[in-house]
A and B are shown apart, each in its own frame.
Chain A
Amino acid sequence: MTSNTSGIVEIRTAVASGDISASEVCRSALAQIGSANPALNAFNHVADERALASAAAIDRARAARGPLGPLAGVPVAIKDNMCVRGMRTTASSKILDAFVPPYDATVVQRLEAAGAVIVGKTNCDEFAMGSSNENSAYGPVRNPWATDRTPGGSSGGSAAAVAAHCVPLALGSDTGGSIRQPASFCGVVGLKPTYGRVSRYGLLAFASSLDQIGPITRSVGDAAAALSALAGHDSMDSTSSAEDVPDFGAALTGTVKDVRVGVPRAFVSDGVDDSVRRAYDSALDVLRDAGATLVDIDLPHARYAIPVYYLVCTAEASSNLARYDGVKYGYRSPAAAEDSLTAMYSRSRDQGFGAEVKRRIMLGTYVLSAGYYDAFYLKAQQVRTLLRQDYEQAFERVDVVAMPTSPIPPFKLGEKTSDPLQMYLADIFTVSVNLAGLPGISVPCGFAESPKLPIGFQLIGRMFDEATILRVADVYERATEWGRHAP
């Protein structure tokens, strides 16, 4: 038998062998959502009937001895910035409050083709812009470990849903840390694949050169199983890679004796909370004791990652969000009949977007405007090149780079909302990974005490080498017991 604490592989095995039906697994997940969600606000939408119908179809396929996919019967939650045909998809924005997509995102198609059962859409920061989930038009998500704290963001609902045992797998999207940081804050595993590894078709675009979809799970093995189902070229996303997709589960060999772990000591020296520093140092010790070699490295341009990121991502966002104009879909201001066309655009956008989205559109418009383009946007793109080169040079000497995921443990709701810059600065260890297009994973590595709050350890790999970061993360997970704690 399985329970709500079972992982993907366990559930799939039990469903395939007939120990439990997909319908029972689904009912159990829906019951857990029903009991945990009122305190967490992790879901924007729960699709009970659709989920039960999908689960029943899996059970019929099994009864008929038909083929079962690698995720057969696994309940999955989808971040609400990915399209599911016929299921309201809002990106946690008022401007898309009534939007019902006419098509499925490729990741949704792939999950369902693998037999996964979609149970609903998770809350997030509006258009995935935020690090605390407080920018949602539907209210903040609360951290299952302490409900006065943020679950992180922007995929806060997905991380909270997995931590609270509502689902063993939730999809997030990561533009500057939005999978890894909430996974860290909620004590679960979050994997941002290499840029291009997973199709972005059907993901509501925020910053197209940085956005990437990935899994949030309770174990590294489950992250590997999920990535195997999600990855691969898609003709609907020209930036998705034709690179071979290995069996990521088979990559978990249990050894790191050949692995050189890069430690950017200067970069992680300042502004790191003591609890995070201790957990990070201990995690490095665990890897060394397991046989890995620690190598000091330097990432001299990493200290510029925050300004580079916020100049690049807002420029891209200002362009991507121009499509929300009150014409083709989304909110239109009711007074529009009396307005000129441009007044209708401006009024609909002002009423439909929340403060952080407007702030980023404004910043992005500014840095792309005449007189500022060279000094800000172009300059940021050049420093982005130098940052990529820092990583390329590091990866000549090491196989993975280790960092904390967040410099601080989960902070209190409301603590940073009045000062956007302070909120941005907490993204220091995640944003450079997106700028360089690399894969990164966050795994639980300890707790801050009183109150007990999760801390994450981040491993970063070469482009398309998710296999190695998964292998190292798996060895770390097996050597420790942090992932077995529950809120």
Chain B
Amino acid sequence: MSTSLTIADVERIAALAHLELTSEEKQLFTKQLADILAYAEHIQAVETRGVAATAHVNVHGVERADEPKPSLDMQEALANAPDGAPTSGLFRVPRVIG
């Protein structure tokens, strides 16, 4: 497959990634991401039929019993919020519904 990237592609990816890019950033990333993806195309040359995918290298199981334990205090958990409402235990966000 060939990798050609347009500004529209970059805008679509930025929307998926929740990034509001400036027009300069869109121009720059269109070129840079195309260069990187063209280089990444090298892996297409590797024969991988029947090869399992490695998502992680853990050799042991990573599951544990689901036992309730104390967690962060609510006030502490809210202390870093840019718009927290610690007394009511809430994070405030812009209006979502009408």
Residue positions of A touching B, CB distance < 8 A = 98-100, 102-103, 195-196, 208-209, 235, 238-239, 241-243, 301, 304, 306-308, 310-311, 318, 322, 325-332, 336-347, 349-350, 353, 355, 358-359, 361-363, 365-366, 369, 375-376, 378-386, 388, 420-421, 424, 435-437, 463
Contacts and interface: CB of A to CB of B under 8 A. Distances in A.
Nearest to B1: A375
B20 to A, nearest CB: 4
B94 to A, nearest CB: 5
In the complex, which range does the number of interface residues on chain B fall in? 35 or more
B18 A346 contact: yes
Interface string B42-66: 1110101001111111111011100
Given A304-B43, A332-B83, 8 more contacts: A239-B62, A343-B94, A346-B18, A359-B33, A375-B44, A388-B57, A421-B32, A424-B36
Nearest to B47: A386
Is the contact region of chain B dominated by helix, strand, or loop, or is it mixed?
loop
Contacts of A365: 13, 16-17
Interface in B57-98: 57-60, 62-64, 72-73, 76-77, 79-83, 91, 93-96
Contacts, number: 176
18 contacts: A102-B80, A235-B64, A238-B63, A322-B18, A329-B80, A337-B94, A346-B15, A350-B20, A353-B19, A363-B36, A363-B37, A365-B17, A375-B44, A380-B40, A383-B51, A385-B52, A421-B32, A436-B57
B29 A359 contact: yes
Contact of B32 (A347, A359, A463): A359
Contacts of A381: 53-55
A332 B82 contact: yes
B43 A380 contact: yes
A102 B82 contact: no
Contact of A102 (B33, B48, B53, B72): B72
Contacts of B73: 102
Contacts of A369: 13, 16
B35 A362 contact: no
Contacts of B44: 375, 379
B81 A301 contact: no
Given A102-B72, A365-B16, A378 B53 contact: yes
Contact of A100 (B1, B54, B79): B79
Contact of B33 (A99, A355, A366, A436): A366
A311 B64 contact: no
Contact of B81 (A304, A327, A380, A421): A327
Contacts of B82: 326-327, 329-332
B98 to A, nearest CB: 11
A99 B14 CA distance: 25
A130 to B, nearest CB: 14
Contact of B39 (A325, A343, A421): A421
Given A375-B1, A463-B59, A325 B40 contact: no
Given A238-B64, A330-B82, A307 B16 contact: no
A421 B35 contact: yes
A235 B32 CA distance: 41
Q: Give the most central of B16, B18, B72: most A CB within 10 Å.
A: B18
Q: Give the most central of A343, A350, A355, A436: most B CB within 10 Å.
A: A350
